Structure 1
């Protein structure tokens, strides 16, 4: 079992409620059969931890049947589930991933859960990445917005992407005390891009 699956297995083991769960957990973490994992995603009354393990393993194996469950987990209120979904989506390589991550990052109704989609967009470096991060950051610059960690992730992501379209929003972010240093660093990266 690789280290990432081992971490997931340890975390989800805390959610087991009896011998049947323990057996299912053992099977899902041990099987190499992708169809067995995919079946868990469509069977009724499977616990969330089981769906998470199945989707994670399928995603890491490049099986696109994991896409929808991983996108749902990417927007979950439990940040650890979001992290594992983001990791698997990065490895899945599904062309729908950037568009889905951009939709989650820019959804104002779910802004409290947008941090991992923003980080995923940065990692993907897709055409959708910079526009979504720019939009999300523009909204976070409103006076009194409480989501400064999300804004910081956008600033750092835009610096990493080094897309010149981000210059105006990064200039605006420099006036925010919590974002100033990161925005200045991101702008310096834009200046170095030919």
Structure 2
């Protein structure tokens, strides 16, 4: 896992490409300064960026990522919004911040996205986040999502593979039926077989 500094540096480099005009540069420099300070006053200023209307999306993303990785739960709602965002780069940034935030609502929000059939094409990072959190909601949500993908008609192979990887890593034998179903697809045969082998190693099937 990258350090917070590495992730923040990558985020600021990406955001710089979106800036338009001197006013946005000034806002960018101000937001980055507060993010680097990390003091109580600086966090209040970042939270204000999230609360006040009219700020560009990149400013809200910078503020939310900074607050989230500092454990400030005022970032939660904005980060969930970004996790649902169509741009996978923004969703990945939000997932990283949510994983570090430690808010108990995170797994429920990620599960809601992962199991929403209307958001499947945007759910890759929510699925990966569920696997990383290993929360009580994780396995049921991942099983539900993978069942829907296996049954089709739109399989979304990358999302399905992420579900399989997460389920295999968690080693929960409740996932065996859906992983067995996934194995019939050539695109999923190898990861599903590997996940099943891992589960059976950690929790051998009963001989009864």
C-alpha distance in 2 between matches for 1:77 and 1:127: 27
Task: Find the residue that maps to 2:186 and give its secondary structure.
Answer: coil
Task: Find the residue that maps to 2:146 and give its secondary structure.
Answer: helix
Select which of 157, 160, 168 maps to 2:169: 160
How far residue 143 of structure 1 moved from its aligned partner, in angstroms, is: 4.2
How far residue 2 of structure 1 moved from its aligned partner, in angstroms, is: 1.5
C-alpha distance in 1 between matches for 2:152 and 2:174: 23
Does residue 1:25 correspond to 2:28, yes or no? yes
Does residue 1:118 correspond to 2:127, yes or no? yes
How far residue 144 of structure 1 moved from its aligned partner, in angstroms, is: 3.6
How far residue 145 of structure 1 moved from its aligned partner, in angstroms, is: 1.9
Select which of 7, 12, 37 maps to 1:9: 12
Structure 2 runs not aligned, ≥5 long: 204-208
Moved over 6 A (4+): none
Structure 1 runs not aligned, ≥5 long: none
Select which of 36, 52, 63 maps to 1:43: 52
C-alpha distance in 1 between matches for 2:45 and 2:101: 18
Select which of 66, 78, 91 maps to 1:82: 91
Output the TM-score relative to the length of structure 1.
0.97
Q: Deviations over 1:144-174 (max 9, x none)?
A: 4241111111111110111110000001111
Task: Find the residue that maps to 1:178 and give its secondary structure.
Answer: helix
Other-structure match for 2:81: 72
Count of residues in correspondence between the two structures: 194
Other-structure match for 2:66: 57
1:5–1:29: 8 Å Cα contact kept in structure 2?
Answer: no
Q: Deviations over 1:76-98 (max 9, x none)?
A: 00011001100000000000000
Does residue 1:92 correspond to 2:95, yes or no? no
Does residue 1:171 correspond to 2:180, yes or no? yes
Other-structure match for 1:189: 198
How far residue 117 of structure 1 moved from its aligned partner, in angstroms, is: 0.3
C-alpha distance in 2 between matches for 1:61 and 1:98: 18
Q: Which moved more, 1:3-12 or 1:137-146?
A: 137-146
How far residue 180 of structure 1 moved from its aligned partner, in angstroms, is: 0.5
Task: Find the residue that maps to 2:53 and give its secondary structure.
Answer: coil
Output the TM-score relative to the length of structure 2.
0.91
1:152–1:182: 8 Å Cα contact kept in structure 2?
Answer: yes
